[in-house]
Amino acid sequence: MSPRPAPDASTQGPRAEQPRARRLETPPVFSPGSFCHPARQETVAALGLPHPHPWQPTEEDWHLPENWEAILRAAFQDRLRKYRSLRVFMDICARCGACADKCHFFLGTGDPKNMPVLRAELLRSVYRGEFTLAGRLLGKAAGARTLSKTIVKEWFAYFYRCTECRRCALFCPYGIDTAEITMIARELLLELGLGANWILEPVANCARSGNHLGIRPQVFQEMVQALCDDIREITGIRLTPPCNEKGHEVLFIAPSGDLYTEPGVYTFMGYLLLFQAIGLDYTLSTYASEGGNFGLFASAELAAKVNAKIYAEAGRLGVKWILGGECGHMWRMAHQYMDSMNGPAPAGLEVPRNPVTGTVFRHAASTKMIHIAEFSADLLLHRALVLDPARNDHLIVTFHDSCNPARAMGLLEEPRIVLRAACNHFVEMPENTIRERTFCCGSGAGLNGDEIMALRMQGGLPRGHALRHVQRHNGVNTLACICAIDRNSLRPLADYWAPGVSVAGAHELLGNALVLPGEGERTTDLRREPLPPGGAP
């Protein structure tokens, strides 16, 4: 594990800014813990990406292909043709500075180039220098630069220090979305064979075995079985979740992280308990066993490839609609990209309809996929679930809005309905750090590798401070979330910034509280920790 920053070095964030740093002239520094490991040559080759080659960010020579400038120029031009967003964002920034201190990486590191406006300017200056008349004529006076190898390094440094959280876009008067710029910049780097291993490795796995970790079908099945065994011991109920079976109503897809890491597994148990409680007619799939999509953090092309299995499998199994688990970027994908990339949904699919309450989810009329929080919230609003929230009485819960559901979907109330129903003690973090203004966990967009732990803890500063605040003032001991990356990344964040707070998925807490027909008396929660006294029904 890489070195973590000393706490007081990180709290310096907003004060430690270096106003005297010449704008774009300081070369990027690759200090330990601040950069992603480069993608391995074999991985890049396996994905059929151009110019697989060995390289190291810390070395002087990155072994770029001979004609790297021509490649970049052509790729940039191509993206300008394909994306109105890029065109407009390259032209209209007024450098008003409203976005500057909205980025958690700037707040946490104080590095001026982590201000969203300057991050975008890294690309924009090249756009001016290469593609605009004023930039070519006036050069530096117009804020223009021409391509250089240092700029390529700078791009790798700073576009892998952006978690595509879109908080900057919320405050920008023109909606300039640095996340969009980051996504495109990463695509450009990929054209030179430069990628992050933590991102491309899972994509390659996904292409091969259906999920990020490369879990084989048999192992997938065994893991589900192991969770069912735990559920039987805790509740006395035996579950047999169908897998790869045709003829069911719903295909359920979760981020695979929920299957193999703590605390995600408890959330997965929560999903299964919920389905059992209402007798949902569903199936899992080993072929489409990954809702998450690290391709989204690499390029539109890879995102589409990874995602394509979902509709293909829904069509093959003949389900009526798709239900998606708790995951942030998976939902960015499902909500904003899936239909355009791989739609329309297969012919057999219907507009999702809750079989218990009869609610027709018209807001998913085209995609045919709904979020499990929407589904549960609907059940709860119709009082279709029997709950014993006292089982969660030992928990004082707060909720971290993941960036994607909050700012790319507007899924704000649904998880809160679930949490308020499942827990008696629910408090919000300070107003400017939740809902649409939520701060990133610091580890999104594929920046959740261990090698950048130092960077992640710095980026997690604003969230960490907000959490610490409610821990001190409200005794919060549980941070709930609806994202598989969060479930992993918020743990070290909490350990670092607010030790003593544990992390749980919303459906884990719902699973704790759910009273199932025919269940025995529970003595522990899903983590096998004893229930609070008087908690059992």
Partner 1 sequence: MILSLAAVLGLGLLGWHLGPAQPFLCGVVLPLSSLAVFLAGFSAKILVWASAPAPFPIALTAGQQQSLDRIPPRRLEAPPGPFWVACRLGAEALCFRSLLRNSRARETPEGDLAYQPVPWLWLAAIVFHYTLFLIVLRHLRFVLDPAPWGLGLILSVDGFFHLGSPRLYLSDGGFLLALAFLLGRRLWEPRLRCLSLPGDYFPLLLLAALAGSGLYLRHGGQEDIAALKTFAMGLVSFRPTAPVGAGPAFFAHLAYASALLLCFPCGKLMHMGGIFLSPTKAMPNNSRARRHVNPWNRPREFQSYAQYEDAYRTSMAAAGLPLERPPAEEDAAGGRARQIHVPTSRS
Interface with ligand SF4 in residues 467-496 (CB under 6 A): none
Residue with tokens 């700078």: 154
For the chain, helix, strand, coil in percent to 5 are 50, 5, 40
| Contact positions with ligand SF4 (CB under 6 A) in 76-95 | 93-95
> What are the residues facing 322 on neighbouring strands?
251, 369
d(CA 489, CA 492): 6
From residue 516, alpha-carbon distances to 114, 191, 215, 379 in Å are 49, 53, 31, 14
CB 479 within 8 A of CB 398: yes
Among 248, 394, 425, 491, binds partner 1 (CB under 8 A): 248
CB 322 within 8 A of CB 280: no
User: Three-state SS string across 57-96, please?
Assistant: CCCCCCCCCCCHHHHHHHHHHHHHHHCHHHHHHHHHCCCC
| Contact positions with partner 1 (CB under 8 A) in 145-204 | 166, 169-177, 180
CB of 463 to partner 1, least distance (A): 10
| Choices 101-109, 314-322, 343-351, 501-509 (CB under 6 A): range interacting with ligand SF4 | 101-109
Residue 320 or 456 having the CB closest to ligand SF4: 456
CB of 369 to partner 1, least distance (A): 7
DSSP, residue by residue, 478-523: EEEES-HHHHHHHHHHHHHHSTT-EEEEHHHHHHHHB--TT-----
Q: Which does 119 bind (CB under 5 to 8 A by kind): ligand SF4, partner 1, none?
A: ligand SF4
> What are the residues facing 250 on neighbouring strands?
282, 321
Check binding of 218 to partner 1 (CB under 8 A).
yes
Helices (H), 283-427: 300-317, 328-332, 338-342, 372-381, 403-407, 413-422
| Choices 250-258, 266-274, 433-441, 444-452 (CB under 8 A): range interacting with partner 1 | 433-441
Residue 325 or 328 having the CB closest to ligand SF4: 328
Among 42, 245, 350, 529, binds partner 1 (CB under 8 A): 245
* Contact mark string toward ligand SF4, 152..171, x via CB under 6 A: ----------xxxxxxx--x
* Contact mark string toward partner 1, 21..60, x via CB under 8 A: x-x-------------------------------------
DSSP, residue by residue, 174-199: T---HHHHHHHHHHHHHTTT--BHHH
d(CA 168, CA 98): 8
Give the contacts of 234 (CB within 8 A, at least 6 positions apart): 522, 524, 525, 526, 528
CB of 504 to ligand SF4, least distance (A): 25
Residue 13 or 193 having the CB closest to ligand SF4: 13
* Contact mark string toward partner 1, 362..391, x via CB under 8 A: xxxxxx-x----x--xx--x----------
Among 33, 108, 110, 116, binds ligand SF4 (CB under 6 A): 116
d(CA 513, CA 508): 9
| Choices 6-14, 54-62, 65-73, 479-487 (CB under 8 A): range interacting with partner 1 | 6-14
CB 503 within 8 A of CB 257: no
Residue 335 or 391 having the CB closest to partner 1: 335
Q: Which does 461 bind (CB under 5 to 8 A by kind): ligand SF4, partner 1, none?
A: partner 1
Q: Which does 162 bind (CB under 5 to 8 A by kind): ligand SF4, partner 1, none?
A: ligand SF4
| Choices 81-89, 153-161, 480-488, 522-530 (CB under 8 A): range interacting with partner 1 | 81-89
Indicate the DSSP class of residue 530: B
CB of 36 to ligand SF4, least distance (A): 14
Binding site for ligand SF4 (CB under 6 A): 93-99, 102-103, 105, 116-117, 119, 162-168, 171-172, 174, 176, 178-179, 182, 440
